[in-house]
Structure 1
Amino acid sequence: MTAIKDKMKGNWNQIKGKLKQKYGDLTDDDLVYVEGKEDELLGKIQKKTGKSKEEVNKFIETI
């Protein structure tokens, strides 16, 4: 499992709050975490924010 997936699994509530602060268009429904579906979640965040996978990953890594 990658470091980003470990971080998402371990600190999801904190990450979710920071994502909502940075990207105001994201809703709780957009940010439903399901273990094993991290890539799908990242894809939703990318689609909603228009950011690249690398940009989203970099932001999550800094939290």
Structure 2
Amino acid sequence: MNKDTNEGKWKQIKGEFKDQYGKITNDESKEAEGKKDKLIGEIQEKYGKTKDEIAEEIKSW
């Protein structure tokens, strides 16, 4: 496992927490932020890319 893979797993956990926190507090922006973090974490874990590389790819979508 490389550093990016481990960081990706952590981002998924953090994203899931933000998503759930947003649902509990009715904060839609926090919920969306959590979903984005979770997506970045999943991509990072699977492909071993850096957060910046993934953010650039997402922007180009």
Classify the TM-score, shorter chain: 0.3 to 0.5
Structure having the higher helix fraction is: 2
TM-score under structure 2 normalisation? 0.41
Larger radius of gyration: 2
TM-score, with length taken from structure 1: 0.40
